[in-house]
Chains A and B, each alone.
Chain A
Amino acid sequence: ETGVTQTPRHLVMGMTNKKSLKCEQHLGHNAMYWYKQSAKKPLELMFVYNFKEQTENNSVPSRFSPECPNSSHLFLHLHTLQPEDSALYLCASSQDGTGLNEQFFGPGTRLTVL
């Protein structure tokens, strides 16, 4: 595998379920990001990890819980989500977390909350 991979590609879950999204980067980068992409809206930055430390949390509800066990892996744990959380969740990585370096994106996980 090369670049940034995300699993699963599609996820349908009920409001009471608990699920996790996984992201892996094979680029040797030190920063990883979670974004939410909704139709006709700008990408919303959710979380940033730089050298495994969380450096950004853009007022994301606690029903989203990130985990970064090492620089190559990033998880987004989901529980008691709402229908308005349905969106495409994108993972990205970059050399560092300054925002100045090119970000490399994964294909996204299409989440539907019923």
Chain B
Amino acid sequence: AQSVSQHNHHVILSEAASLELGCNYSYGGTVNLFWYVQYPGQHLQLLLKYFSGDPLVKGIKGFEAEFIKSKFSFNLRKPSVQWSDTAEYFCAVNAGDSNYQLIWGAGTKLIIKP
């Protein structure tokens, strides 16, 4: 069965620190990749997605993610985090043999200290 792994359940950073959240998946074929975010008290929402083309994808609020096919990874990055980035971040993969439904990681809770 396909799976998505997010390496850290909790990450705590200070404001202005750089962020990288890991995401690895276990499917060897064509994939479509997503990062969703859930801010405190808000709904899950799409942060960015990758289907094809430039493996470096830019999303909302200064986030970006890089697809590295050889590493089966799609890590999320932000050069300088803000307190308002405190949220839970979910990686999701849409793979050919999942009937094109999303397979989700367990999420990473990010806390930014002011």
Give me the interface of A with B, judged by CB distance under 8 Å: 3-4, 40-43, 45, 48, 55-56, 90, 92, 98-100, 102-107
Cβ contact within 8 Å between A45 and B102: yes
Closest to A38 in B: B106
B104, A42: Cβ atoms under 8 Å? yes
B112 partner residues in chain A, CB cutoff 8 A: none
Chain B residues within an 8 Å CB radius of A56:
99, 101
Q: Are B94 and A99 in contact (CB under 8 A)?
A: yes
Please report the total number of B residues contacting A with Cβ < 8 Å: 22
Across the A-B interface, the 7 shortest Cβ-Cβ residue pairs: A99-B100, A105-B44, A43-B104, A42-B104, A99-B94, A105-B43, A102-B46
B interface with A by C-beta (< 8 Å): 4, 9, 32, 43-46, 49, 51, 90, 92, 94, 98-107
CA A56 to CA B4, docked complex, whole Å: 20
A92–B101 Cα gap in the complex (Å)? 13
Task: Give the one of A41, A43, A92 with max B CB within 10 A.
Answer: A43
For A42, the chain B residues whose CB sits under 8 A away are 4, 103-107
Q: How far does the alpha carbon of A16 sit from the alpha carbon of B46 in the complex, in Å? A: 37
Chain B residues lying within 8 Å of A3, measured Cβ to Cβ, are 43
Q: How far is the CA of A106 from the CA of B106 in the complex (A)?
A: 19
Known contacts A100-B32, A102-B49; A48/B44 CB under 8 A = no
Which residues does chain B contribute within 8 Å of A90, judged by CB atoms? 44
12 contacts between A and B (CB under 8 A): A40-B9, A42-B107, A45-B102, A48-B101, A90-B44, A99-B94, A99-B98, A100-B100, A103-B46, A105-B44, A105-B45, A106-B43
Given A43-B90, A100-B51, A100-B94, decide whether A107 and B43 contact each other with a Cβ distance below 8 A: yes
Q: Chain A CB within 10 Å — which of B4, B51, B101 has the most?
A: B101
Name A99's contact: one of B4, B9, B102, B107 (CB within 8 Å): B102
